[in-house]
Amino acid sequence: MRFIINGEIKTINFQQSNPNLALLINYLGLNPKLIVVEFNGIILNQEKWNQQQVKDQDKLEIVTIVGGG
């Protein structure tokens, strides 16, 4: 499957036939507690990632939250 993640095309081959957003985030090695995901133009709450199926050409913008002062 090909995804557009933060403006870059990434090809990912999943073992599962119906991958979801949580699996994609895990594959990318991201910490779910430290990111915000916009999925096809909609910011999705982390609680919905397991239910959100992903498909070829989905667009994601992933923002990492950083603390500072």
Tens of pLDDT along 9-34?
999 998 888 999 999 999 999 999 99
Secondary structure of residue 62 in the 3-state scheme: strand
The percentage of the chain sitting over the pLDDT mark of 70, rounded to a whole number, equals 99
Check: CB of residue 13 under 8 Å from CB of residue 69. Answer: no
Q: What does the alpha-carbon distance between residue 47 and residue 44 come to, in Å, rounded to a whole number? A: 8
Let me know if domain 2-64 sits in CATH 3.40.50.2000. Answer: no
pTM assigned to the model: 0.89
* Per-domain boundaries in the chain: 2-64
